[in-house]
Amino acid sequence: MFCGNRNCPFIESQTECQQSSDAVWRCIVGGALQNVEFNQGEVLFLQGEPSSNLYALKHGMVKICVHTADGREQIVGLSRPGNLLLGLQSINDAYHPYTAIAVTPVHACRIKHRTLLHLVQTQGDLAMRMIAAANAQLAHSRALVEGLGQKNARAKLASFILFMRSCSVREDGGFAMPFSRMEIASVLGLSEETVCRLMANMKRSGAIHAPRGKIEIRDRSHLYAISAGDPDRYAEVSNQ
């Protein structure tokens, strides 16, 4: 089975020449995978649901969330194509500890936990790839905590906008923002009112333009200054 997702931990390059630019990328567990698609808003799996599959994303973005005792949804992470495996954390658990929901249309490869664990017993290289995927997940979580955890509210929001720009399909005049203000607040640990107020400040400052469902970065250096917590640059427009 061949795939274009070159960052997937199940992919290996088959080429006669290391320097060739025409390498063929083969999935080492291709026979055990099932190609699946989810529309925006569809659930890949639910918190508390029996844990039986994991997913390698080929296209799209998935939000990872937990539901509190009072029924509120708290977004605790994001997953996108790369060397991460969605659902890997629960491979040895009976139930999923979180819910995974497609933020955009998603294309993915699905593999059963039981099948993958059997393959690990017979393919030593696959075990090392699983360890690498687990390490990548930890690094991703650590980067998210380090990048947002110590920043003030406006720096968090600016950093999130820049992050979304880096992983979204860009269109003329900007990129689609698949999250509502409430969802952005959930990701960043802020109130919806704070997100709306800070977004309005950034629009007034000329850093961004935010028509419905889209973000346009008008002044990238200004937005980077805000994300870095530069109080002098931001104070100039906040005090106007």
Flag the least confident range among 7-16, 131-140, 203-212. 7-16
SS3 180: coil
For position 65, which CATH number holds? 2.60.120.10
Compute the distance between CA of residue 168 and CA of residue 105 in angstroms, rounded to an integer: 12
Domain membership of residue 199 (yes or no) is yes
Mean pLDDT of 213-233: 82
Domain membership of residue 21 (yes or no) is no
Domain membership of residue 1 (yes or no) is no
Q: Are residues 127 and 103 in the same domain?
A: yes
Q: Are residues 119 and 223 in the same domain?
A: no
110 pLDDT above the threshold of 60: yes
Residue that finishes a domain, picked among 119, 147, 175 = 147
Q: Are residues 171 and 75 in the same domain?
A: no
| In contact, 96 and 24? CB cutoff 8 Å | no
Compute the distance between CA of residue 4 and CA of residue 171 in angstroms, rounded to an integer: 22
Confidence bin at 202 (pLDDT 50/70/90): very high
Residue that finishes a domain, picked among 147, 172, 189 = 147
For the stretch 49-77, pLDDT in tens is: 988 888 988 888 898 888 877 777 788 88
Residue that finishes a domain, picked among 147, 177, 192 = 147
Supply the pLDDT for residue 116: 84
Q: Are residues 42 and 143 in the same domain?
A: yes
Q: Are residues 137 and 157 in the same domain?
A: no
237 pLDDT above the threshold of 70: no
**More confident call, 180 vs 142:** 180
Q: Are residues 178 and 120 in the same domain?
A: no
Confidence bin at 83 (pLDDT 50/70/90): low
228's CB contacts (< 8 A; 6+ apart) are 155
**More confident call, 169 vs 129:** 129
Q: Are residues 69 and 47 in the same domain?
A: yes
Give the structural domain span for 182.
153-238
Compute the distance between CA of residue 29 and CA of residue 141 in angstroms, rounded to an integer: 26
Domain membership of residue 18 (yes or no) is no
Domain membership of residue 29 (yes or no) is no
Average pLDDT of the chain?
80
For position 213, which CATH number holds? 1.10.10.10
Number of domains within the chain: 2
Mean pLDDT of 117-122: 82
Give the Å distances, CA to CA, from 45 to 18, 50, 76, 221. 39, 9, 15, 39
